[in-house]
Amino acid sequence: MFVIMGATGQVGSAVLQALKQRKAPVRAVARDPVRAGGLGVEVVRGEASDAASLAAAFKGAEAAFVMLVPPPQAADVLAESRAIAQAIAKAVRASGVPHLVALSSVGAQLASGNGIVQALHDFEAALAGAAPSMVFLRPGYFMENWAAVLPAAQDAGVLPSAQKPLDAKGEIVSARDVGRTAAELLLEPHQGTRIVNLAGPAQYSPVDAAAILSKLLGKEISAVPSSREETVAGLVAAGMGADYAAKLADLDDAANEGRMEFAAGSGEMQRGTVTLEEVLRRLIAAAPGPEARS
């Protein structure tokens, strides 16, 4: 039995689907099992901050996929994330799961100076030694994150980005590749701890993303710079708490200063197969029309 946290999210659902394709038995952990009942697998209640419910969900599993989502409304995001990390680690130890795949991030090797990713550094630290076989999966920036500014491209022909310079290429990856890779790693127990860095099939810049969108939308899309103040204001307007928005802006600063890279010697390097064009095409197909956004 393989237990999956976050099975209704973009990565967790990809893990679940990849395991189902392999005919592997899956148990999904959900805060509300009734709402998650359409997954086509066993669903049990579990709360990331509730070690007892998670331990019960993990019981009897041959492997588990775990993830930490920093709470976007927290007054102190890192402090609350540390508490959640400790709860997940306690549940893993109590349940005796023999093999664990934990979703982390590029830059998680840094103890500070990495914005919101510090929460995942702390997550890795909390999980250290929790299972005899462990993998920390550290993907790059998700290609799907472009969905947040897709309306600006569709409506105004601009693609805002905090990346500097706008033509600088970086390692990004599709959530679907992350989920597929996590599923493969769940099926590969070993002794000790592995770190697997994951990027997409090629490097991309905001200028590249704008060029692809220009082709897909049939009109000129231009990448435009977004200041830290504009980024934070936009995130708060979208409903995120002030501390969470600031930590995301700190992450942008870290990336622009060259700290959010796959460090040499920090783990295995793998590449996915899903291109940015495939992801943007899918996002456009799923996006609401102008009438729905007005």
E strand intervals along the chain: 2-5, 26-30, 42-45, 63-66, 99-103, 133-139, 141-142, 158-161, 170-173, 192-199, 203-204, 222-225, 268-271
Tell me the C-alpha distance between 221 and 152, whole Å: 10
Closest CA to 255 of 145, 191, 164: 164
pTM of the complete model: 0.95
What percent of the chain stands above pLDDT 70? 98
Tell me the C-alpha distance between 230 and 235, whole Å: 9
Tell me the C-alpha distance between 97 and 271, whole Å: 28
- Return the pLDDT at 35: 78
CB 192 within 8 A of CB 129: no
Does domain 2-259+266-293 correspond to CATH entry 3.40.50.720? yes
Tell me the C-alpha distance between 31 and 43, whole Å: 10
Closest CA to 5 of 60, 52, 43, 62: 43
- Return the pLDDT at 50: 96
Token digits for 184? 């493969």
Tell me the C-alpha distance between 258 and 35, whole Å: 41
pLDDT at 290 over 90: no
Residue 201's contacts (CB-CB under 8 Å, 6 or more residues apart) are 271, 272, 273, 274, 275
pLDDT tens-digit series, residues 200-219: 999 999 999 999 999 999 99
Tell me the C-alpha distance between 215 and 145, whole Å: 19
Closest CA to 144 of 284, 289, 283: 283
Q: Measured over all CA atoms, what is the biggest interatomic distance in the chain, rounded to whole angstroms?
A: 55
Q: Where are the domains of the chain?
A: 2-259+266-293
- Return the pLDDT at 287: 83
